[in-house]
Amino acid sequence: MGQTVFIPRELDANEPRVAASPDTVKRLAGLGFDVIVETGAGTRSRIPDEEFAKAGAAIGKAADVAKADVVLKVRRPDETELKSYKSGAAVIAIMDPYGNDAVVAALAKAGVTAFSMEFMPRITRAQSMDVLSSQANLAGYQAVIDGASEYDRALPMMMTAAGTVPAAKVFIMGVGVAGLQAIATARRLGAVVTATDVRPAAKEQVASLGAKFLAVEDEEFKAAETAGGYAKEMSKEYQAKQAALTAEHIAKQDIVITTALIPGRPAPKLVSAAMVASMKPGSVLVDLAVERGGNVEGARPGQVVTTANGVKIVGHLNVPGRVAASASLLYAKNLFAFLETLVDKATKTLAINRDDDLVKATMLTDGGKVVHPAFAKADQQP
């Protein structure tokens, strides 16, 4: 009898994703695990119990978590859930620990070894475990679909006998994984796409997708561009010039999609109320950072706000969850790829190497203590 992996149904009403797929269940069994999936865990990602069963999982109930040596989740377990967890169990999820010291302390107190998938280092070896990328990619796609859905014109240029419908102007702010996929999707739909980022080096990526990079391209910019990567912060003068250019640009856009997040900190405000007010009625802003306070002034989590001047600000929660069926498949693979590194292939049991870089980067709590350096002080909480 092997060790047990348990995949619970997510309790958050706003979380349709699930941390396993029939494919990963099969692979987990291949690693020697007994797999239990809570009944209904996959329903909202369109994976019925039968498919998990066919792949080799037992279908169980929430209380079966007590048998689990490994728990795979989307969101971190809350304190009530943790009461049923076995001390020493490995719990792998998006732990979202920043600003949640009490929760981190609770994980330690429960004695679980908690891994925060969003801390996975962005190195080649861990690419297949990068949940931020896999989910941001889908969020970037869905942001364009959501924007197009709210927008009251067509995105592509249409040449018809009655005249030409001009292509929509779409502006992407923040060119990470989500921003790049948003650029690609808006381009696919035939929009005229521009994008911007605080990293001048992003210009090349934007251009490679057929979009135009918006920046004050002075000497300072050019120097920073060739420096590449996360360049040093630009001068105050440059920032002011860039802000003026951006403000002027936003007033002319039909759809603006913002994607700027800073790990562990509130989202930067990119679009002020004055900029929103400068836009034409019927224009649409999609704020992918709304859960972190928002990039757009006036965005409301979970709402589509229409401003006094007729601009829509779309603030959907959990945007990857809006394409849950795709999001769960990729998320499940990310988790499997990581868990595989924690298993001793010979004995077919969990063998966590606490010196491994991936473990060190992601391990939040272990043996009753908060072990992650960024949260060690959380230990002192009650």
Q: Give yes or no for residue 50 binding a copy of itself (CB under 8 A).
A: no
Residues in 59-98 that interact with a copy of itself by CB under 8 A: none
- Asked if residues 248 and 228 have their Cβ atoms less than 8 Å apart, the reply is no
The string over 5-30, giving b where at least 16 C-beta atoms fall within 10 Å of a residue's C-beta and e elsewhere, is: bbbbbbeeeebbbbbbbbebbbbbbe
Amino acid at 346: A
**Which residues, including other chains, have CB under 8 Å from residue 219's CB and lie 6 or more apart?**
none
Pick the piece of the chain touching a copy of itself (CB under 8 A) from 77-85, 136-144, 298-306, 353-361: 136-144
Going from the C-alpha of 113 to that of each of 73, 79, 82, 92, 360, the distances in angstroms are 13, 15, 12, 8, 12
Helix (H, G, I), strand (E, B) or coil at 152: coil
Beta bridge partners of 75: 94
Of the two residues 4 and 326, which places its CB atom closer to a copy of itself in the complex?
326
- Shortest Cβ distance from residue 282 to a copy of itself (Å)? 4
Q: Which is nearer to a copy of itself, 59 or 245 (CB)?
A: 59
Q: Residue 323: CA atoms inside 13 Å, Cβ hemisphere, count? A: 19
Q: Does 324 bind a copy of itself (CB under 8 A)?
A: yes
Amino acid symbol at 88: G
Among residues 123, 70, 118, which one has the least CA distance to residue 357? 123
148 vs 371 by CB, closer to a copy of itself: 148
122 flagged as catalytic? yes
CA angle 254/255/256 to nearest 5° reads: 125
Contact flag: residue 277 with a copy of itself (CB under 8 A): no
Among 26, 86, 153, 249, binds a copy of itself (CB under 8 A): 153
Among 194, 196, 326, 365, binds a copy of itself (CB under 8 A): 326
Q: How is residue 377 written in tokens?
A: 């002080």
- The Cα 237–Cα 50 span in angstroms is 61
Known catalytic membership, residue 133: yes
Q: How many residues bind a copy of itself (CB under 8 A)?
A: 49
Helix (H/G/I), strand (E/B), else coil: 14: coil
Does 269 interact with a copy of itself (rule: CB under 8 A)?
no
Question: Please, which residue, 135 or 196, has the CB nearer to a copy of itself?
Answer: 135
Please pick, from the candidates 156, 298, 301, 368, the single residue that binds a copy of itself as defined by CB under 8 A: 156
As measured in angstroms, the least distance from the Cβ of 152 to a copy of itself is 4
Give the SS3 label for residue 57: coil
Question: Does 10 interact with a copy of itself (rule: CB under 8 A)?
Answer: no
**Minimum CB–partner distance for residue 180 and a copy of itself (Å):** 12
- Going 36 to 40 to 45 to 51, the CA torsion angle's sign is positive
Q: How far is the CB of 83 from a copy of itself (least distance, A)?
A: 32
Contact between 13 and a copy of itself (CB under 8 A)? no
Active-site annotation holds for 130: yes
Q: Nearer Cβ to a copy of itself, position 94 or 224? A: 94
One-letter amino acid for residue 20 of the chain: A
Q: Which of 266, 281, 302, 367 is close enough to bind a copy of itself by CB under 8 A?
A: 281
Residue from 128, 272, 307, 381 that binds a copy of itself (CB under 8 A)? 128
> At residue 52, what is the residue type?
F
Which of 122, 125, 265, 354 is the catalytic position?
A: 122
Q: In this structure, are residues 250 and 277 in contact, taking their beta carbons and an 8 Å threshold?
A: no
User: Which residue type sits at 369?
Assistant: K
Tell me if 14 contacts a copy of itself by CB under 8 A: no
Is 113:90 a contact under the CB 8 Å cutoff? yes
Q: Which stretch binds a copy of itself (CB under 8 A): 74-82, 232-240, 280-288, 341-349?
A: 280-288
Chain residues in the site for a copy of itself (CB under 8 A): 16, 45-46, 48, 127-130, 133-134, 137-138, 141-142, 145-146, 148-149, 151-154, 156, 158, 160-163, 165, 181, 185, 188-190, 280-282, 310, 322-326, 329-331, 333-334, 337
Active site members = 122, 127, 130, 133, 230
